[in-house]
Structure 1
C-alpha cells in the first residue's frame, strides 16, 4: 500500500504546517525498526505498526510504502458502536508497548529526532485554532438543552480561553519528565484488529502517525478512552482502563530495562488531569465526526463541510444533533464537569 501526501491545497497546507508526513516517515523508517529490535533483544515478539519498505531509487517526493495488513485480516471496528472490553484492552496493550519502547528510547538516546522534540504549535497557531473552532463552540452551546446540560453553558464559555492555555502549556516538556512518543490521533479508526475464527482478538496494530510528538502518555490515553470505547464501558471502566494500561506499561518498561524511576499509577492519574483538555477536544471536535452516521447524512459529505455556508451548517447540525452523539453528551458532559475538567 502506497501512502502519498495529499493533493488538495487545504490539506497540503495543514500537513505542511505540522510536518505531518515527515513525522510519519520518521516513525516508520527510523523509530519503529529500532523499537521492534528492542523488544526482540528483550525476548518479546511483538509488532506495533505495519511494516514499511523503501524504494531502491529516489522518486523525487516523499512516500511511505506500507504493508497492506488488510490482506492478513486486519480491520477497523465500527466507529459508531465503539470498542468493547476485549478490543479496548487489546488496544491499550499495544499503546503501552509503543509508549514503553519510546520512553526507553528517549532515555537511552537523550530524546527523539529533532522534529519530534520541537513544540508542534508554532507562533500564531493557537490564535488560528481559537478562530477556527468558534463555529463549533457556538453550535455546541446552542445544543446544550438537547444534551440536558444547559446548566453548563457559562462554565463551558468561560473554559474556552483556559482550554487554549492548557494546550499551549502541554507543549512545555522537560527531559526529567516521563516522556513518550505519542501517537497523537489514537482513536478507533487508527487501530486495526486481527481475529481468529471465533472472533477473538489475535493481534492489534496502530496506524497513521502524522501528529506524533514528545509528550506525556496521558495525551494518547485520555484521547483514546474518551473517543473510542463504547458508551456502556467508557465511563464505568474509565479508572480500570487507566490501571490496566499502567500495568502493561510497567511490564514493558521493566522488560526493556527502562533505567529511570517507573511512573506510579497515582502519577498517571495526575497526568490525566494535566491533559484534561483532551476531554473538551473529544467532545467538541472528535465525537461529532466519529459518531456521524453516514445513513443520516447521505447528502452531506466531509468535502462540503468546509464549503458554502448552507452545506457547512447542515453538516454541523447533523454532527451535533445526531442520536449517537447526543446520547454520549448526556453522560459525558456532567461526568467531565464533575471531575473538574471545565474549571
Structure 2
C-alpha cells in the first residue's frame, strides 16, 4: 500500500479518535468489510494551514469478507485545544454554527435544487456529526479520493478559478434566499460573523494587539503618505465591527459564507489541467448579510498581483449573472436584484468590515510560507514572540508586493475611510 505522509508531525491527535470510532461508519460504507487492520491518523493540512480548528485525515486499511484489503480515508474536523485558541473559537460559537449548517441548512439547500430538477453539490458529504467531552467533531468524505485539491493560497487564483468560485457562491446564496422565504429566518447565531454584538471588546482587543506592528509595517511598504492615515483608531474599529452586524432589510440579503477565501474552496481539474468543479468548505462564519461581503473578501484574498483588483467590477458582474440564473431556476418570486444595486452595496458602511478584516488578518496569513509557528495562537500573542511574528507576517515580501497595490485601491474606493464611523 502507498506510503502515508504526515504534513504536520507536531499535531496532537485527540484521544477519542480511534479505530472503534469508525467501525459503524465503515459498515455503512462497505457492507462486505470484516475488520479494520491498520488505523493511521495524520494532519490534513501543513502547520499554519488551518487557524481555527484541528483537521485530520484518517486512513483505514480494512479486510473484506473475501480476504482482500482495501484502503478507506476520511477527513475529521474538530475543535482546537482551549489553550491553543479553542476557547475563543468556542465562545464565538463557530462550531455550533457549522453543526447547524451541515445538519440542517446545507442539506436543505441541496434538496431545494434537487426538487427544482437542478441537482448540485455545495460541500463535502458530512458522514457524521457528534460531540465528545464538549468537543464538536465532523467526519467528512475525503475529497482527495475524488481528485479535489486546494489551490495554492500563496499564489492566488486566476479568472478560471474565480468563475467557478463565483458560480458555487451564487448557488449557495440563491438557495439560502429561497430557504428563508419558505421556512423563515435563520437561527440567531447567524446574526453574527467574525464579530459578535456581545463580544465586540474581544474583536477590539485582537485589533489593538496587532495594530502597532501593522502600522509600523505600512511605513515600509512604499505606499504614498496619504494612505498611511487611512487606518482605524481603536474606537473606529469597534464601530466598524458593530456596523458589520447591521442588515439593511431594503437590500438584497443572503446567508453569506462569511469566510469566502480561496483556501476554503476545493477544485477539481480536467485532463487539460483546467479547473472544472469547485466545492466550498468551512461554514463557521456564515451570517445573514449582503452578498457583497463575500465578494469583497474573495476579491481581496485572490491576491494575484495585477489580476483580481483590475477585474474588481467584472467579478461582481460575473457573480450577479450566476445569481440571477440560479434564482430563476429556483423560481424566486420577488424582483431580481440589479447589478447596480450590488455594485453600490459594496460601498455601504455595513459591508466594509470584510474588506479590512481580510487585509489585516487573512491576506498576510495566507501569503506566509508554511511553518509551525504560523497559527492563530502565535498571531494573537501579546508578548515579544507575538510581536516579532506579526512583524515578520506584515513585512513578508510576498504580502508586501500584493498589499502595496491593494491598500491604495481600497482607500481610493472609499472603503477605508474610517472617519465615516
- Give the structure-1-normalised TM-score: 0.90
List per-residue Cα deviations over 1:112-138 (Å, max 9, x = no partner): 234324687445522222222123222
1:281 paired with 2:357, answer: yes
* 1:4–1:63 Cα contact (<8 Å) kept: yes
- Two-structure CA RMSD over aligned residues (Å): 2.4
Which runs of 5 or more residues in structure 2 are unaligned? 1-74
> Which of 247, 251, 274 does residue 173 from structure 1 map onto?
247
How far has the Cα of 1:42 moved from its partner?
A: 1.6
Q: Between Structure 1 and Structure 2, whose CA radius of gyration is higher?
A: 2
User: What are the within-5 Å matches in structure 2 for residues 151-166 of structure 1?
Assistant: 151-152=225-226, 155-157=229-231, 161-166=235-240
How far has the Cα of 1:12 moved from its partner?
A: 2.7
Indicate the residue corresponding to 2:223 in structure 1.
149
Indicate the residue corresponding to 2:260 in structure 1.
186
1:253 paired with 2:337, answer: no
For 1:120 and 1:319, how far apart are their aligned partners in 2?
Answer: 21
1:328 paired with 2:405, answer: no
> Which of 141, 165, 169 does residue 91 from structure 1 map onto?
165
* Count of matched residue positions in the alignment of Structure 1 and Structure 2: 339
List per-residue Cα deviations over 1:55-77 (Å, max 9, x = no partner): 7x986753222111111111111
User: What are the within-5 Å matches in structure 2 for residues 5-20 of structure 1?
Assistant: 5-20=79-94
How far has the Cα of 1:10 moved from its partner?
A: 4.7
Indicate the residue corresponding to 1:268 in structure 2.
342
For 1:293 and 1:118, how far apart are their aligned partners in 2?
Answer: 31
For 1:308 and 1:168, how far apart are their aligned partners in 2?
Answer: 24
Which runs of 5 or more residues in structure 1 are unaligned? none
For 1:119 and 1:320, how far apart are their aligned partners in 2?
Answer: 24
* 1:155–1:342 Cα contact (<8 Å) kept: no
Of stretches 5-14 and 44-53 in structure 1, the one that deviates more from structure 2 is 5-14
Indicate the residue corresponding to 1:222 in structure 2.
296
- Give the structure-2-normalised TM-score: 0.75
Of stretches 157-166 and 318-327 in structure 1, the one that deviates more from structure 2 is 157-166
Of stretches 198-207 and 134-143 in structure 1, the one that deviates more from structure 2 is 134-143
Q: What secondary structure is seen at the aligned counterpart in 1 of 2:411?
A: helix
1:198 paired with 2:266, answer: no
Indicate the residue corresponding to 1:130 in structure 2.
204
List per-residue Cα deviations over 1:258-317 (Å, max 9, x = no partner): 1122111111112211212322212211111011123xxx57442544457332222112
Indicate the residue corresponding to 1:77 in structure 2.
151
For 1:195 and 1:339, how far apart are their aligned partners in 2?
Answer: 35
Structure with higher strand content: 2
* 2:209–2:380 Cα contact (<8 Å) kept: no
Indicate the residue corresponding to 2:385 in structure 1.
311
List per-residue Cα deviations over 1:22-61 (Å, max 9, x = no partner): 1111111101111111111222121110111247x98675
* 2:208–2:234 Cα contact (<8 Å) kept: no
Which protein has greater RCO, CA pairs closer than 8 Å, 6+ apart? 1
* 2:346–2:352 Cα contact (<8 Å) kept: yes
Indicate the residue corresponding to 2:14 in structure 1.
none
How far has the Cα of 1:329 moved from its partner?
A: 1.7
Structure with higher helix content: 1
